[in-house]
Structure 1
């Protein structure tokens, strides 16, 4: 590692700190100031509004389902990409990163075209069997899973590459089954990468707006999520409630990230 002169090092630190502050810190501080400008009045108004409380519950439900699904498939996909060679491996790796480069609105529109109950490819068939996807929880969970898909995978893959597979091969040579090797060797080695990926996935899921606005229909009291209720309250001049809900979403995400960052062992931060 090349050591920079002390003045240059401090200059780079100040530039980086200023960049983060103006990009992230200042807007969050401004949001907190607006939220508590009248004390707890904004929070009280938001939490006493049944539409807001229902939107928060819907957001929690959709986010938890999406995180659970992405955790299982994220770890499985990471193992597949790192531990196995197969045709199309690079293509699969590229597809995992697709949600990071495609607008969530496009994702929502694509799901609408495929699963719409009247004109979608599979929607009419699914609805004929009693499964409504669009403007319902399944479509919202699918959209949220899509936008948060890479976060668990990209946290776990570098750790798997770093630890190698020597211990896994040794366990298999001693007679351990694939499930025992996964449970006793692989998962303990990548647990903090999984935890951090889960937290990032949760934070991403809580704040999803574009894809959910299309696939949910934004039905007040039914499929409206917290980010959608923020837009509705702000445009309807109930700005104190909009600030309060926004602050709650930011607070939950920041708290989860801070707690995991503080608890995570230093040797596991290489992921």
Structure 2
């Protein structure tokens, strides 16, 4: 018995010294200070401005929202924004899953260049993106514009151009969400399924897709938020035609410049609430292991 007690005493950690206690206290104080700085930064940069938009929207009750929804041009703009956002999410989801699998599962010449090129929409100004699309798809001087218009398809200053611009600026978001997930999942399960006779589609639907589904969900939320809020590229390629190619973000600018600040606040509030609602829903339904 005495030997056991002696062994436990020898294996017990030494009592903390005053220097160790002071070091832990300083570390704890530094952690709290960093938390305060980060919280204050997020409050001043995100929470406060967004809350001011909400406060100004309901400054006169529900009047501004009611008047906004009674304006047929605004309703058309909201529908167009929703249509463009849905198409952007669908295209970027299909392309993002395919491109992520290509980057992670295969080796080929020019892979690094392609990987770097995918980040171009995040580094280039949306105004430049819109101008580049006009130069390529413009009806008069564009490379493909005259041929497309002769075939009955107008891209610039119409809905296809808006979808193209919005899809371009949100292109990397899905890919940058899926690539780390695919790298973490690895290929062991797919190789095991292949050894059992599963073909490519069966491996994708039964193994790969369930493994990356939450990465796809996060990418969809980010792509949707980016698509709803796109302004620069859309303004260049849309023409901002009232009741036809004016999106919700262009409505915010038009109303604010025309001194209809309540209408601008209400439109911005609707756009912000859709993005916030998507984030909240994902945070609620996702499993604890992904939180």
Indicate the TM-score class for this superposition, using the shorter chain for normalisation: over 0.9
What is residue 22 of structure 1 aligned with on the other side? 44
Distance across 2 between alignment mates of 1:171 and 1:62: 38
2:151 to 129, 135, 147: 129
Q: Over aligned residue pairs, what C-alpha RMSD do you find?
A: 1.3
Q: Deviations over 1:192-235 (max 9, x none)?
A: 00001001100000000000001010101001000001101111
Distance across 1 between alignment mates of 2:192 and 2:98: 21
What is residue 183 of structure 1 aligned with on the other side? 205
Distance across 1 between alignment mates of 2:165 and 2:77: 17
Q: Which runs of 5+ in 1 are unaligned?
A: none
Q: Is 1:168 aligned with 2:190?
A: yes
Q: Is 1:79 aligned with 2:101?
A: yes
8 Å CA contact 1:216, 1:224 repeated in 2: yes
Distance across 2 between alignment mates of 1:183 and 1:3: 51
Instruction: Report deviation, 1:140.
Output: 0.8
What is residue 204 of structure 1 aligned with on the other side? 226
2:91 to 58, 62, 69: 69
Distance across 2 between alignment mates of 1:257 and 1:4: 36
- Show the 5 A alignment for 1:1-271: 5-269=27-291
Instruction: Report deviation, 1:45.
Output: 1.1
What is residue 17 of structure 2 aligned with on the other side? none
Partner secondary structure for residue 17 of structure 1? helix
Matched positions, count: 268
8 Å CA contact 1:66, 1:145 repeated in 2: yes
Q: Deviations over 1:16-35 (max 9, x none)?
A: 11000000001011111110
Distance across 2 between alignment mates of 1:117 and 1:171: 51
Query: TM-score scaled to structure 1, two decimals?
Result: 0.97
Q: Which runs of 5+ in 2 are unaligned?
A: 1-23
Give the direction of change, closer, same or farther, for the CA distance of 1:137–1:23 in structure 2 (3 Å limit): same
8 Å CA contact 1:193, 1:268 repeated in 2: no
8 Å CA contact 1:109, 1:215 repeated in 2: yes
Distance across 2 between alignment mates of 1:172 and 1:3: 55
Instruction: Report deviation, 1:268.
Output: 3.0
Query: TM-score scaled to structure 2, two decimals?
Result: 0.90
Distance across 2 between alignment mates of 1:136 and 1:196: 29
